[in-house]
């Protein structure tokens, strides 16, 4: 009979180091907070270093071990520097959460090759670069580990026009997750993805609230949100902590036999 492990031990991340990219705010900060609550020392890696330092200070005040570092995930030199800083500050890199991303809305006629490539550089190449260098540390130190990639329901089903570049990048994240899981599995490194639906962050709140734009644009925006909400089986937008709880599951021993998968967290949008 398999050894029984108490639930508290399965969820505990005590003694582990976790890196969260895009960790200064929104979903990234919510994930970092849950990982820290479970005992991990966390590094908030963000292109906005001042915001990352502020958020890390807030976590420290709560009794958590939290640090900050600037990182442009699309720049390999920046990524290698961040990983080195993480190893030094945290003592180990056991968990990587690839959360940093951009989602500009651009219609095909307006999109240049540079626009398209920028989205891919941050959302897809950035995920690859952080995974490459963090997993190298994990393999070198033979500690195993967990990599969690933030994909999107857009990887499975485009929900709105003007999101082609974002959709392509997140579709790539899904397949990157599967490929990395296969390659890194022999090193006891699990790689999974989370596909959020509509999550109420400050960015989303700004995008759906009345603001700049013609009356026609605002009317169309409200109609789009209403149509989106009709399809939500649970009848509400998600919160950042809804994603953070799933990330904690994927980072912990609760998911020790799970790899190469994508967990959809969308309030039932895709099933409607």
Indicate if the pLDDT at residue 246 is higher than 50. Answer: yes
pLDDT for the residue numbered 3: 80
- 269 has catalytic annotation: no
Give 227's pLDDT tier (boundaries 50, 70, 90).
confident
pLDDT for the residue numbered 18: 98
Average pLDDT, the chain: 92
pLDDT for the residue numbered 221: 63
Give 56's pLDDT tier (boundaries 50, 70, 90).
very high
Segment 106-115 mean pLDDT: 95
Give CA–CA dist 256/248, Å, rounded.
Answer: 12
What's the gap between Cα 258 and its chain centre?
A: 18
Indicate if the pLDDT at residue 52 is higher than 50. Answer: yes
CB within 8 A of 2, min separation 6: which ones?
A: none
pLDDT for the residue numbered 232: 86
For the chain, the structural domain boundaries read: 7-199+239-264, 202-237
Please tell me which residue in 103, 166, 257, 269 is annotated as part of the active site.
166
> Residue 205 pairs with which residues in a beta bridge?
none
Segment 69-91 mean pLDDT: 98
**CATH number of the domain at 7-199+239-264, please?**
3.40.50.720
> Residue 262 pairs with which residues in a beta bridge?
193
Give 272's pLDDT tier (boundaries 50, 70, 90).
confident
């Amino acid at each position: 009979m398999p050894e029984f492990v108490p639930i508290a031990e399965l969820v505990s991340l005590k003694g582990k180091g976790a890196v969260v990219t895009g960790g200064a705010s929104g979903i990234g900060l919510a994930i970092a907070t849950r990982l820290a609550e479970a005992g991990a020392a966390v590094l908030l890696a963000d292109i906005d270093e001042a915001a990352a330092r502020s958020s890390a200070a807030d976590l420290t005040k709560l009794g958590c071990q939290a640090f900050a570092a600037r990182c442009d995930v699309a720049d390999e030199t920046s990524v290698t520097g961040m990983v080195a800083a993480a190893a030094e500050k945290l003592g180990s890199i056991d968990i990587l959460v690839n959360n940093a991303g951009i989602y500009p809305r651009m219609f095909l006629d307006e999109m240049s090759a540079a626009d398209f490539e920028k989205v891919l550089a941050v959302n897809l190449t950035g995920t690859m670069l952080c995974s490459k260098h963090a997993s190298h540390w994990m393999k070198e130190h033979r500690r195993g580990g967990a990599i969690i990639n933030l994909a999107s329901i857009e990887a499975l089903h485009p929900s709105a026009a003007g999101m082609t570049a974002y959709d392509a990048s997140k579709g790539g994240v899904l397949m990157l997750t599967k490929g990395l899981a296969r390659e890194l599995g022999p090193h006891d490194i699990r790689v999974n993805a989370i596909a959020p639906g509509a999550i109420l962050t400050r960015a989303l709140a700004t995008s759906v609230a009345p603001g700049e734009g013609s009356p026609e644009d605002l009317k169309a925006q409200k109609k789009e949100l209403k149509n989106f909400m009709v399809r939500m089986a649970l009848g509400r937008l998600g919160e950042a902590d809804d994603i953070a709880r799933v990330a904690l599951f994927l980072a912990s021993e609760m998911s020790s036999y799970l790899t190469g998968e994508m967990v959809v967290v969308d309030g039932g949008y895709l099933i409607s």
